[in-house]
Structure 1
């Protein structure tokens, strides 16, 4: 994935297409420490009600609408 596709601002623009009449706002922000998950909840209010999408930051640095895989301990046998 290119840097352009991984930018959170561009992902928000792709999913919401905000305009001055329909701005988006950050509803929740969590920047986890020591291996915690990083996510941002973005909301836009429309005439039919609000819509929110959660964006998750992956290890590679890109933002997606699905959470990253959980790194689990593994036992290796040789």
Structure 2
């Protein structure tokens, strides 16, 4: 069974703390050139700032804030 602590949803909740007043939304989605993963940029707008984080899906299916190493 896969660890859900590394799901994209869990990471967005951890890093951006979305709420009904400040929801998170996908701002960008791209497949990586090597087709070994993808990039999802998620943002949340708060009254005083805009938060945006890029998440990378690696070949093992896990999500991280750093890109996968090119082979």
Q: Deviation above 4 Å: which 4+ runs of structure 1? A: none
Cα RMSD (Å): 1.8
Cross-structure match for 1:56 = 56
Separation of aligned partners in 2, 1:49 and 1:29: 22
Cross-structure match for 1:7 = 7
Post-superposition shift, 1:35?
Answer: 2.0
Structure 1 residue runs of 5 or longer lacking an equivalent are: 72-78
**TM-score after normalising by structure 2:** 0.85
**TM-score after normalising by structure 1:** 0.78
Structure 2 residue runs of 5 or longer lacking an equivalent are: none
Which stretch shifts more, 54-63 or 31-40?
A: 31-40
Which stretch shifts more, 3-12 or 24-33?
A: 24-33
Post-superposition shift, 1:55?
Answer: 0.1
